[in-house]
Amino acid sequence: MDTRSIGALQVSVVGIGCNNFGGRIDDVRTAEVVQAALDAGINFFDTADVYGGTKSEEFLGRALGARRDEAVIASKFGSEIDPEHKGARPDYVKRACEDSLRRLGTDRIDLYQLHRADPETPIAETLGALNELVAEGKVLEIGCSNFDAAMLADAEGEVQPGAAGFVSVQNHYSLLERADAAEVLPFCEKAGVAYLPYFPLANGLLTGKYRRGAELPEGARITGMAEERRQRVANEKNMEIVEQLIAFAESKGHTVLDLAFASLLAEPEIASVIAGATSGEQVRANAATASWRLSEDDVAAIDAIAPRP
């Protein structure tokens, strides 16, 4: 599988989102997903301290076991675990890192990401604490998540000479959510920051499981959403776009799942498309998408169906 750069890290262009670990799937199925990923050439695993009620990191660490050095582990901090475990104050950054290292059973986190901005803590203070973790070797590279272009520029301006700065940003992006194409992706291109899209399959709409006018499949994630959110995700406009994308993909001999990955990987700023999986079969299907290279005409046709802002 091809790799791309996140700072000094080389990551597979298809990654595994670990938010299912410890939540939707247990220890045994987590191990199945992780081993299938490594066997398929996927080395990038993205987790967070809050995923699975803090169990995701534990499950991932155990599943990797002796194969830890084959993996690039990305984790996150800053979202609220409980009132005592949240935010981005320097003392908490270091505490959160130690907790994640312990849960993962490793001596370093390859990419440590601020999950969301902390309005109570100046970004310069957070960056200072993260730089200390890099200097100590506990973290190799640092990134952020849920940052817009202005926030990225502010953070870049606070990096001291010779200190670590954000090498990646992880935001919501897919063929049904392309707002970041307006400002964030251009910033990433200019600043050399890698972009990591989350929800790349649009809550499952781009897997081909959901069709306009058809019953929702039993057990699908979307069925567990609150009605208001489900209507935002699976509205008539989105379902019409999905039908057109399915038709386009099939005209090229591919699935809409292939298209969801290939369209994102056609963006040079995107380092890896991270998607969750609950079985080895899903992992292998995701890995197989990396073989489709879109032409300029393909990209233009997709943009006509799912316009950029």
Residue 140: strand, helix, or coil: strand
Q: Residue 36 domain-assigned?
A: yes
Q: Residue 305 domain-assigned?
A: no
- Phi, psi for residue 275 in degrees, rounded to 5: -130, 145
At 21, which amino acid appears?
F
pLDDT tens digits in sequence order for the chain, 309 residues long: 999 999 999 999 999 999 999 999 999 999 999 999 999 999 999 999 999 999 999 999 999 999 999 999 999 999 999 999 999 999 999 999 999 999 999 999 999 999 999 999 999 999 999 999 999 999 999 999 999 999 999 999 999 999 999 999 999 999 999 999 999 999 999 999 999 999 999 988 999 887 776 666 666 666 666 666 666 676 888 899 999 999 999 999 999 999 999 999 999 999 999 999 999 999 999 999 999 999 999 999 999 999 999
Q: Residue 175 domain-assigned?
A: yes
Q: Enter the pTM of the model.
A: 0.94
- Phi, psi for residue 162 in degrees, rounded to 5: 80, -5
Q: Residue 268 domain-assigned?
A: yes
What pLDDT shows up at residue 199? 95
Give the CA radius of gyration of the chain: 19
Strand-pair category, 3-6 with 9-12: antiparallel
51 as an active site residue: the answer is yes
User: Domain range spanning residue 32?
Assistant: 3-201+257-294
Q: Residue 228 domain-assigned?
A: no
Compute the distance between CA of residue 281 and CA of residue 267 in angstroms, rounded to an integer: 26
What pLDDT shows up at residue 266? 97
Compute the distance between CA of residue 223 and CA of residue 205 in angstroms, rounded to an integer: 12
Compute the distance between CA of residue 302 and CA of residue 284 in angstroms, rounded to an integer: 25
Q: Residue 300 domain-assigned?
A: no
What pLDDT shows up at residue 277? 95
Q: Tell me how many domains the chain contains.
A: 1
CA-based nearest residue to 146, from 88, 72, 85, 192: 88
The single residue of 51, 92, 195, 198 carrying the catalytic annotation is 51
Question: The domain spanning residue 144 has which CATH number?
Answer: 3.20.20.100
Give CA separation, 199 vs 137, 158, 175, 284, in Å.
31, 29, 10, 18
Residue 253: strand, helix, or coil: coil
Token couple for 77: 């901090």
- Phi, psi for residue 114 in degrees, rounded to 5: -75, 115
Q: Residue 229 domain-assigned?
A: no
Q: Residue 239 domain-assigned?
A: no
Element (H, E) at 305: helix 296-305
Token couple for 17: 């989102």
